[in-house]
Amino acid sequence: MDVQKFVEESREMIISKLHGKGILACSGGQDSTLLSMIAAPIKDIEIVFVDTGLLRLNEVERVKGLFEKFNVKYKLIDAKKIFLDNLKGVADPETKRKIIGKTFIDVFKEEAINFKATYLLQGTIAPDWIESGGASRDTIKSHHNVGGLPEDLGFQLIEPLRDLYKDEVREVSKYFGLPEVMPFPGPGLAIRIIGEVTEHRLEILKQATDILEKAVEDKYQGEKPWQYFCVLLPVKTTGVHGDQRTYGETIAIRMIDTLDGMTGTFSKPDWEILSDISANITDDVPEINRIVYDITDKPPATIEWE
Ligand code: XMP
C-alpha cells in the first residue's frame, strides 16, 4: 500500500465532502486516533474524544498524552454518567451495542449544536461494516459505528478509512509514528462484561485487564498475541481463601493471533505466564476467585465474547 498517497487522498476526500463543519468522533482506539491524525490539519473539524467510562485503567490519560505529543487539538467530553445510565439493566449484547452507538451520537449531537457541525467523521474500517451485515451479509455483530447507529442519524457521515483492514490501519499508523497499540473495541469494556454493566463490575474488569496487559507486556516470551484481554463472566463459583469459603466472580482470558481480525487462532502461551496472570489477578482483585482460558478460534467464535 502507498501510505503517503492514501493519506493525501483521504485528506482530499474529506475536504471535497465537507461543506460546513464536522465533528470527528474519537473513542481513543487505534482507528479513530489514526483518523484524528489524518484530519488534524483540516480546518472546520473539531476532534471530540469521549470518555465513556468504558475505557481501560489510565486510558484517558494515555490518549490525552498522545494528542498532546502530536500537537493535535481536541475536546474531551466526560460522558461517563450518561453511558452507565443508559446501559442500566441491559444484558443483551446487540441491545448494548445499539445503546452505545446511540449514546455516542447523542453526545456528538449536543456538541454539534455548540460547534454548528452537520458532518460526522468516523474511523469506520472494513470489518466494522462487513460484520454489521446489510445487503446479503448476515449481522455477526452491530459495530457501534455502523449497525449500532440510530436510523435518524442527523449527520452526514465521512468515513475515510472504510476500505482499510486492521493490518493496513497499523501500516498507516506507523507512517504517523503512532505507537503500536492493541486493537480495542469502540463499545469498550461494556462488551467484555457479560450481562449487565455496573460501576462495580467495570472496576473489577479494569483491574483484571490491567494486570493481564502488564504481565503480557513484561513477561511474554516471543511475539506477543495480536490481542489479549479479560472478559468478566456472569458466573459465580465456589472457592476457598485461607480456610474461608468464597463465592466469587469468574474471568475468562482471551488471547488471539490473527493478521486482520477477520479470522484467528487462540494463542498458546507458556503455562508459566498464564499461571502468573491467574495468581496476580486472584491475589489483587478479591472479588475474583476463578480464571479460565478461552481455547476457541475465530471462526467459530468471534474475538470478543459479545
Ligand atoms: P470480533 O469480535 O468481531 O472482533 O471478532 C474483531 C476485531 O474488532 C474489534 N471489535 C470492534 N471494534 N467497534 C470496534 O471499533 C466494535 O463494535 C467492535 N466489535 C469488535 C475486536 O476487538 C477485534 O479486534
Please report the pLDDT score of residue 141 as a whole number. Answer: 74
Q: What is the mean pLDDT of residues 122-126?
A: 94
Q: Which of 111, 57, 56, 47 lies closest to 79, judged by CA?
A: 111
Residue nearest to atom 18 of ligand 1 (CA): 185
Q: What is the pLDDT of residues 5-42, one digit of tens each?
A: 999 999 999 999 999 999 999 988 899 999 999 999 99
The DSSP letter of residue 306 is: -
pLDDT of res. 56: 98
| Cell numbers representing residue 41 in the block | 490539519
pLDDT of 260:
81
* pLDDT (0 to 100) of residue 134: 76
Q: Catalogue the long-range contacts made by 54-59 (C-beta closer than 8 Å, 24 or more residues apart).
A: 54/83, 54/100, 54/187, 54/188, 54/189, 54/190, 54/197, 54/202, 55/28, 55/188, 55/189, 56/184, 56/188, 56/189, 56/206, 56/209, 56/210, 56/213, 57/206, 57/207, 57/209, 57/210, 58/210, 59/28
In this prediction, residue 169 has a pLDDT band, given cuts at 50, 70 and 90, of very high
Hey, whose CA ends up nearest to atom 9 of ligand 1? 185
The H or E element that residue 60 is part of is: helix 59-69
Q: State whether the Cα torsion 197-200-202-208 is positive or negative.
A: negative
7 or 127: which leads in pLDDT: 7
pLDDT category at 45 given cuts 50, 70, 90 is: very high
Looking at residue 245, its pLDDT comes to 96
Ligand 1, atom nearest to 226 Cα: 24
End-to-end CA distance of the chain: 32
Residue ranges per structural domain of the chain: 3-176, 198-293
Give the SS3 label for residue 30.
helix
**At the topology level of CATH, where does 3-176 sit?**
Rossmann fold (3.40.50)
Closest C-alpha residue for ligand 1 atom 20: 185
What is the percentage of the chain residues whose pLDDT exceeds 90? Answer: 84
**So what's the pLDDT on residue 291?**
98
pLDDT at 144 over 80: no
pLDDT above 90 (res 114): yes
Residue-level pLDDT at 151: 79
Highest mean pLDDT among 119-133, 136-150, 232-246: 232-246
How far is ligand 1, taken at its centre, from the CA of residue 283, in Å? 30
Q: Which CATH architecture has domain 198-293?
A: 2-Layer Sandwich (3.30)
Average pLDDT, the chain: 94
Q: Supply the DSSP string of 171-236, one letter for each residue.
A: HHHHHTTPPP-----TTGGGGGBSS---HHHHHHHHHHHHHHHHHHHHH--SSPPSEEEEEEEEEE
CB contact at 8 A, 56 and 206: yes
Let me know: does 22 contact 44? Beta carbons within 8 Å: yes
Distance from Cα 225 to the centre of ligand 1, integer Å: 16
pTM (predicted TM-score): 0.92
Q: How far is it, in rounded angstroms, from Cα 256 to Cα 258?
A: 6
| Gap from CA of 240 to ligand 1 centroid (Å) | 36
Q: Which atom of ligand 1 is nearest to the CA of 29?
A: 15
Encode pLDDT of 75-107 as tens digits: 999 999 999 999 999 999 999 999 999 999 999
Evaluate if residue 153 carries a pLDDT over 80.
yes
Confidence of residue 136 (pLDDT cuts 50, 70, 90): confident
pLDDT of 163 strictly over 90: yes
**Candidate from 132-136, 193-197, 265-269, 270-274 with smallest mean pLDDT:** 132-136
Number of helices (H), then strands (E), in the chain: 9, 9
Give the model's pLDDT for residue 217: 95
Ligand 1 centre distance from Cα of residue 226 (Å): 13
* Residue ranges lining ligand 1, Cβ < 6 Å: 29, 127-128, 131, 141, 143-144, 183, 185-187, 227, 261, 298, 302-304
Q: Does residue 147 have a pLDDT over 80?
A: no
Average pLDDT of span 143-149:
75
Query: Phi and psi (nearest 5°) for 121?
Result: -100, 125
Contact criterion met (CB below 8 Å) for 95 and 102: no
